[in-house]
Structure 1
Amino acid sequence: MLNRRMEKLFWAHASKKNPDYITLYFRITLDGSRAELGSTGIKIHHKHWNAEAQRVTARSAEAQQYNHTLDIWREKAQAIYNELLLKKVPFTANNIKTLFRQQGRGFTFLYCFELYLKQLSRDPDITFGTWKTYDVVRKKIEAYLKETNQLELPIENFTKGILEKYRTWMRIDQQRAPNTIRKHTATIKQVHTWAYLNDYSMKDCLQGYRVPSVKAGTPISLNTEELLTLLTHDFSNFPVLGEVRDQFLISCFSGLAYADLKTLRSEHLVIRSVQTHEDEVPSNLTWLLKDRIKTDITARQPLHPVVRMILDKYEGRPEEMHVRPNQKTNLYLKLIAMHCGINKPLTTHVGRKTFANLCLNGGLYSDAFAVVCPAVGQFKNTKFSTESTIAMMGRTSAKGLEVYATPGEQSIMLELKTRQA
């Protein structure tokens, strides 16, 4: 590495409008690899440029200033090159180029993260929901670095040790779940790899680091009795809690995630005529058809009678509901659980898990719900297949579905009865 030699060259680009005038550009070559460092902004007559001597030859104070500028460009590139040699880490011509444009300063981790997000925003395969998830990680890391006085931390210094301290901070100070910490860790690793591949970092500090796996726990969901308690509890003295309860129940009986519930509108409720057999009279049912914010996959399902009953409180228009911020909604759900005597940590995501559990275990159209909502009684209480559950939830595959629900005793008995029939 010590024998590496960097070549520096200014080259002239003639103007199309006036070929007699040229603009000087700067490039470097290292190990046969070339990098264009950009225009110097110097525009002169072509007769006043000596390419061999790399000097402006006009006899004027302005020409002297131009030559001084060229010297500064050379010295700046050489200084960056010398500094990289002292670090004794592999580097390329493009590494010098990026540092040159940054006035010789390195790139901070947060700056690289912001650039990474900008690239994701231009990717047509990345939905806004996915981008938002990455941005949440960026904000949390920014909060940690601010708290530890490391906002200007260079990306090369965001080592495995820093990452482990961040994971501990998330677990103890922020009380985040292991799965959340794992997702944050994976995102940080992605940013490091991206920065290295795009020459914003001289090395990938997390190369070889394996994101710790998380053992899947038992999904938290509500059973039929707990749902009935929510449905029948009187919140007339607490209208805000009543409204949050209604929104949570819609998630429980539709599987809509928080972001999808927040953007649910009347146009997502469509009347469909469905005929399962040729000799059967078509059924006119209201279907819920909505592209998910996170995946852009359409969740499609018959609108559950309980959801219809709840929406009737709001003139049948989902947009009439005031959906509060996710964090505040989760706080209200804790109060709702206390009011109803439900000893489970309710969150907006528990509603989606409850729906999956009801689908896979045969309780979505339980006769018990018909006591509160008689329209449920017209549907047969049976479990749904994995394929149907995926379609109704707007998922891409069955992978990871175990996080939402696992077959229970009721599901086993339903299959047992099917085989006995």
Structure 2
Amino acid sequence: MRTNQTYSVSFFIRKKKKQPQLAALYSRITVNGRSLELSLKRTIPSEKWDSVKNRYKGNSEEAKIINAKIQGNHSKLLSIYDELIKEDKIITAQLVKARYLGTDQKHKSLTDLLTYHNTNMVNVLSHGTLKNYFTTTKYLLSFLSTQYKTSNIFLKQIDYKFLIDFETYLRSQPDLHNNGVMKHIERFKKVMRLAMDLEWIDKNPTSRFKLRFEPVDMVYLTQGELEKIQLSTFEKKGIELTKDIFVFACYTGLSYMDVKKLTWNHIHSPDQKQQWIYTKRQKTNTSVRIPLLPEAEAIILKYQQGAKNSITENLLPIYSNQKTNQYLKVIAKKLKIRKKLSFHTARHTFATSVTLENGVPIETVSKLLGHHKIATTQIYARVVDKKIANDMEALKNKLGRKKETTLT
């Protein structure tokens, strides 16, 4: 703690050139002999100023108001000095003035926080996740502009009402449903937690907000539907390719980005018999090792890109995620599969129809999927359990009908 500084606060007036009978009121901050002026944004009659007592003369109502303003300013500037001493800052008149005006580093803004997060997370978050944060940033700035008529706000000004108003604004957007709104608020909450960790705020008003996600039906292929796709052929090259890459994902559990980045460098055969994929999940950077099932291995051989020693070359050709999902909708329509297929359906299919329904232990499935927590994988187990329960209920009804027929 620094105690060798000299600090004083005084008040004075400066007469107006064109109206010398009036004067503007100022405070003077002096630190170690260096001074800065701070306007109190008040004008008083020059003759009413007591330069010895630094006060407005008299007991009039105006005198009481002006002197209360002076006293409040004096108390605040002394409090700021004590605050900076406790923070062990190198105190200057400029720093005291900046703290008074709220422009020092103590008072960061929302755009400061968003810029810091989106810049420093480039090498931490996946491209897709970071892109989502940029979208949340866009909504926050649009909300500020629309609701607050400003382009920025200090973090200390953000309260619980700000968050509720932001939620209301998001729900007014035609392209956002409940879960989309909750994802944006979830990202905003995470950014505000970062502000708390950086000590840019003293309390986090978003911590009390409870996220309310609605359950979403998990789309996956049954074993019969997967087999129908596998056995299908399409004249159009793009659709045929998309079908094969999708089937490959159904038998490996890899996401679109994980398949896209695969090269021969990711293929290993430690025992010279079974081939494995050694990779890291793009989304979580989690290492996964997946033994290649014959169905997946056949597709690699079908689209083998050059020689195997070209280890940096892409393992499989693949269209953009948007184009791939467009072709998957065509495939579903042609094969009369009444499900909304996307590339992520393949990952769900691997977890349910390919592994869990065929007796693969949930702990193994969790590792194959690259989940950090087995609780994440248990979502698929519940889907399988529900299907089994429905199948058994159907069987029970069928057996009951047969028994009734026999008795009659």
Return the TM-score normalized by structure 1: 0.61
Within 2, Cα distance between the matches of 1:29 and 1:134?
Answer: 43
Return the TM-score normalized by structure 2: 0.63
Name the structure 2 match of 1:383: 359
Within 1, Cα distance between the matches of 2:142 and 2:240?
Answer: 37
Name the structure 2 match of 1:377: none
Map 1:97-116 → 2, pairs under 5 A: 97-99=105-107, 107=109, 109-116=110-117
Within 2, Cα distance between the matches of 1:327 and 1:97?
Answer: 43
Map 1:206-355 → 2, pairs under 5 A: 206-212=206-212, 214-237=213-236, 239-273=237-271, 284-315=273-304, 319=314, 321-355=316-350
| Aligned residue identity for 2:105 | K
Q: Deviations over 1:280-309 (max 9, x none)?
A: xxx811122222222332222220111112
Aligned residues: percent identity? Answer: 19
- Contact 2:279–2:288 (CA under 8 A) maintained in structure 1: yes
Within 2, Cα distance between the matches of 1:147 and 1:30?
Answer: 35
Confirm or deny that 1:30 pairs with 2:83: yes
| Cα pair distance change 1:198/1:302, threshold 3 Å | closer
Within 2, Cα distance between the matches of 1:262 and 1:200?
Answer: 39
| Aligned residue identity for 1:30 | E
Q: Which residue of 136, 139, 149 corresponds with 1:141? A: 136
Runs (5+) with no aligned partner, structure 1: 13-26, 39-72, 85-94, 100-105, 274-282, 363-381, 414-421
SS in 1 for 2:211: coil
Within 1, Cα distance between the matches of 2:170 and 2:380?
Answer: 24
- Contact 1:244–1:323 (CA under 8 A) maintained in structure 2: yes
Q: Deviations over 1:55-105 (max 9, x none)?
A: xxxxxxxxxxxxxxxxxx73x545544445xxxxxxxxxx84345xxxxxx
1:141 Cα deviation (Å)?
1.9
1:272 Cα deviation (Å)?
3.2
- Contact 2:106–2:200 (CA under 8 A) maintained in structure 1: yes
- Contact 1:256–1:352 (CA under 8 A) maintained in structure 2: yes
- Contact 1:241–1:332 (CA under 8 A) maintained in structure 2: yes
Name the structure 1 match of 2:43: none
Within 1, Cα distance between the matches of 2:112 and 2:320?
Answer: 28
Larger radius of gyration: 2
Aligned pairs, how many?
305
| Aligned residue identity for 2:261 | T
| Aligned residue identity for 1:327 | Q
Confirm or deny that 1:160 pairs with 2:136: no
- Contact 1:235–1:241 (CA under 8 A) maintained in structure 2: yes
Q: Deviations over 1:257-280 (max 9, x none)?
A: 12211111112221232xxxxxxx
Q: Deviations over 1:16-50 (max 9, x none)?
A: xxxxxxxxxxx965164235479xxxxxxxxxxxx
Runs (5+) with no aligned partner, structure 2: 1-7, 10-28, 35-79, 307-312, 391-408
- Contact 2:170–2:176 (CA under 8 A) maintained in structure 1: no
- Contact 1:246–1:310 (CA under 8 A) maintained in structure 2: yes
1:252 Cα deviation (Å)?
0.8
- Contact 1:358–1:383 (CA under 8 A) maintained in structure 2: no
- Contact 1:289–1:298 (CA under 8 A) maintained in structure 2: yes
Within 2, Cα distance between the matches of 1:211 and 1:409?
Answer: 26
SS in 2 for 1:254: coil
Within 2, Cα distance between the matches of 1:338 and 1:359?
Answer: 23
Within 1, Cα distance between the matches of 2:387 and 2:196?
Answer: 52
Q: Deviations over 1:221-255 (max 9, x none)?
A: 00122112212222222x22222222211111110
- Tell me whether 191-200 or 144-153 shows the greater mean CA deviation: 144-153
Within 1, Cα distance between the matches of 2:343 and 2:90?
Answer: 50
Map 1:353-364 → 2, pairs under 5 A: 353-362=348-357
Within 1, Cα distance between the matches of 2:174 and 2:320?
Answer: 22
| Aligned residue identity for 1:324 | Y
